[in-house]
Amino acid sequence: MKRSISIALAFVGLMVGAGFATGQEVIQYFISFGLTGIWGVVLSGVLMTLAGAVILQLGSYFIADEHNTVFRNVSHPIVSRILDWSVVLTLFAVGFVMLAGAGSNLEQQFGLKSFIGAGIMTLMVIATGFLDVDKVSNIISMITPVIIIAVVFVFGWTMLHLPESTAGLSEMAAEKSSPVSPWWLSALNYNGLALMLGVSMCLVIGGSHSDPKAAGRGGLMGGLLYTLMLLMAALSLFFNGPLVLDAPVPMLELFNSINPWLAQIMVWIIFAMIYNTCIGMFYALGRRLTASKPERFAPVYIGVCLIGYAVSFVGFSTLMTYVYPIIGYIGILMVMVLVAWWAKSRVRINRESKIRERIGALLHRRLHPERRYTRKHAQQLRKAAEAADAPNRDIVEMIGEEVSAELEADPEVDYERPDNILPPKGKTDPAIDDASDSHSPAKN
């Protein structure tokens, strides 16, 4: 269960990005349909929960370290290539939309021209690209829990300050244009957009865990938490429609209406979330474009950042209206491909899960200082590894690392991590107890 909770929190942290924090996506995709849009939130949440579970489970099944590992295995080479390059284009598109969002964020709060805020963000992204990006990104990702707290806070405040009459709110919201209609297609498109943005990391998150069942449970739990947050954000924006519908950054305007000091804090939280999203998009794009020529990373990275800055002049809301729907439709195709393969291969995935559970149980016996591990167990481990779909030594080493980490964290076990989880190839396993192949009553 701990593993599933960890996966769920990682999933939510990935999905609750800068677009969610601004509130602009929520208004365009849901609130613009009035009260009916709330049903769109529910539909989107259900689909996000199911699709998230499938994607994370596929990542785990294939032990994915990048998205193409899965795309190549579940689709035709041509479809795989289309999906791969669609993800690349998504990285760039979301990158320049976020630059525009940075400009709108500072313009709304401080009156700065939008190109100044976008320019500041571009320079920060370029500079960070040559630093230890993982550490910087991890620090900024700590803002994600703050966004969660902010959404819960603003929802609670809204419920305590509901308008005396809700008449006209739905009609007022419906006056806003939506990039996709009707409401149910908008919900589908939003899911496609969100998952296109997060699919690479979702597959990698799943691939870092050996247990497909735990990954699937984590996706379900994360999807439910995400749905709850999306519903709270949508209701908060809907009931405060007269204040926020025309604002470039609705969530910032809502906090400003509660207390200007809260807005002073929220503007930098949103800016940090945008920065985190931007560096993730442009850095991943630069690395992908220079995969065969890493030495060209610097000029390519600077080039795509500057091109993104130029495109951001079109404006945040305008870019979202025209760019996001295209990404969303491609995302729908991607989800259909992944779900179709998962549905066809459920029995195969379940079989693999049971094999890996067996490997984990045998490795727990091998590594636990108080349990007996015999030649019979070693033979069972070898047979289980050979029966696994994943490369047998890779999966055994991966599960061994997870078991070792669990034993290290257990205060009741006096465990010292061995130099090698597994013996070198062709060598006798030193953990085998040659004295007897039977279990001692005291050590089972």
Question: What are the tens digits of pLDDT across the range 179-198?
Answer: 898 999 999 999 998 888 87
pLDDT at 424: 63
Confidence of residue 438 (pLDDT cuts 50, 70, 90): very low
Q: Please give the model's pTM, rounded to 2 decimal places.
A: 0.81
- Residue ranges of the domains in the chain? 2-344, 346-444
CATH number belonging to domain 2-344: 1.20.1740.10
pLDDT at 439: 41
| Average pLDDT value for the chain | 84
Per-residue pLDDT for 39 more than 90? yes
Torsion of CA 188, 173, 12, 5, to 10 degrees: -100
What single letter denotes the amino acid at residue 144? Answer: T
pLDDT at 423: 65
How many whole angstroms from its chain centre is CA 40? 21
pLDDT in tens, 165-181: 777 888 888 888 888 98
pLDDT at 314: 83
Confidence of residue 327 (pLDDT cuts 50, 70, 90): confident
Confidence of residue 92 (pLDDT cuts 50, 70, 90): confident
pLDDT at 140: 57
pLDDT at 231: 94
Per-residue pLDDT for 159 more than 90? yes
pLDDT at 428: 64
pLDDT at 19: 64
Between 195 and 130, the more confident residue is 195
State how far the Cα of 345 lies from the Cα of 340, in Å rounded to an integer: 9
Eight-state DSSP code of residue 77:
H
The arithmetic mean of pLDDT across residues 314-322, rounded, is 76
Pair 59, 66: CB distance under 8 Å? no
pLDDT at 332: 93
All residues at 6 or more sequence positions from 118 whose CB lies less than 8 Å from its CB, including other chains: 99, 100, 102, 103, 309, 312, 313
Residue recorded with tokens 């939003």: 190
pLDDT at 45: 92
pLDDT at 419: 67
pLDDT in tens, 344-393: 999 999 999 999 999 999 998 888 888 888 889 888 988 998 898 887 77
Q: Which range has the worst mean pLDDT, 221-225, 307-311, 326-330, 429-433?
A: 429-433
Pair 165, 157: CB distance under 8 Å? no
Burial level of 321, CB count in 10 A (0-12/13-18/19+)?
middle
Confidence of residue 426 (pLDDT cuts 50, 70, 90): low
Per-residue pLDDT for 103 more than 80? yes
